[in-house]
A and B are shown apart, each in its own frame.
Chain A
Amino acid sequence: DAKTTQPNSMESNEEEPVHLPCNHSTISGTDYIHWYRQLPSQGPEYVIHGLTSNVNNRMASLAIAEDRKSSTLILHRATLRDAAVYYCILRGVADDKIIFGKGTRLHILP
C-alpha cells in the first residue's frame, strides 16, 4: 500500500489559515487522496478528497501538486474547534478499508 508522510504536530493561531502538508511519493495513478480528522474523544470524520485537481468544500480546500507526490489540506480560518488529528490517506478506487497513519496533531492557539 502506498504510504503517506505527515508532520507529527503543528500549531496555528486562531483565525489564521492553516496548511497541513502530506507527502505521498509512491502514489499510483488511480489512488485518491483523502483527508479525515479526529476531534478529541470522537471517531474520525471525512474532510475532503481529490484525485488530480484542487478541491474545495465547506470545511477545507485540498491543493494537489502537479506530480501528485504531495498535497496540502488548507483550513482557511482556523477555530479552536479545528484542533484535532488530521489524517492524509491514499485510497484506490477498489479499496474498502481505510489505512490510517499517525496523522498530524493540530493545536490551535487562542
Chain B
Amino acid sequence: GAGVSQSPRYKVAKRGQDVALRCDPISGHVSLFWYQQALGQGPEFLTYFQNEAQLDKSGLPSDRFFAERPEGSVSTLKIQRTQQEDSAVYLCASSLDRVASEQYFGPGTRLTVT
C-alpha cells in the first residue's frame, strides 16, 4: 500500500519568503508528526497531531513555524519569513494510534534557504 508522501521533495527559498510543505499520511492513521533534521544530526520533534487536534507543538522553534491538519488527514507545515537556519530536511511521520506505536516516515522535504 501507499506510504507517507511529502511534497515538494526539494524546495529552495530566498530568505524572507514563506514556504508550505505538505504531508499525506497513510490512510487511516490517527497520529501525524513533523520532525526537522539538520545535516549530520538525528531528526528532532517539531509537532504532533491526533486527528485534527494539535496536541503538542513544543518543538516548533519559533512563531514563524505553523502546522495544521484541518480534516485529520493531510497536514501542512508552514514557515514564514524563512531564515538560513531553517535549512534542513523536514520529515513527516504517521502512526495508527497514539500510544508508542510504530511511526512510518515519509522521504522528507529538503529545504534550502539562500
Contacts and interface: CB of A to CB of B under 8 A. Distances in A.
Contact of A95 (B55, B93, B100, B104): B100
Prevailing SS type, chain A contact patch: loop
A96 B56 contact: yes
A94 B31 CA distance: 13
Interface string A86-110: 0100011111111111110000000
Contacts, number: 60
Contacts of A102: 41-42
Given A43-B108, A97-B33, A97-B48, A103 B42 contact: yes
A102 B4 CA distance: 23
Given A43-B108, A44-B91, A100 B102 contact: no
Contact of A101 (B4, B42, B56, B59): B42
Interface residues of B, number: 25
Interface in B23-81: 31, 33, 35, 41-45, 48, 55-56, 59
Contacts of A44: 43, 91, 93, 103, 105
A103 B102 CA distance: 18
A96 B48 contact: yes
Nearest to B41: A102
Contact of B103 (A42, A85, A98): A98
Interface of B: 4, 31, 33, 35, 41-45, 48, 55-56, 59, 91, 93, 98-100, 102-108
17 contacts: A42-B107, A43-B4, A43-B93, A43-B107, A45-B105, A49-B102, A85-B42, A91-B100, A93-B99, A95-B100, A96-B31, A96-B98, A96-B99, A98-B45, A100-B42, A101-B42, A102-B41
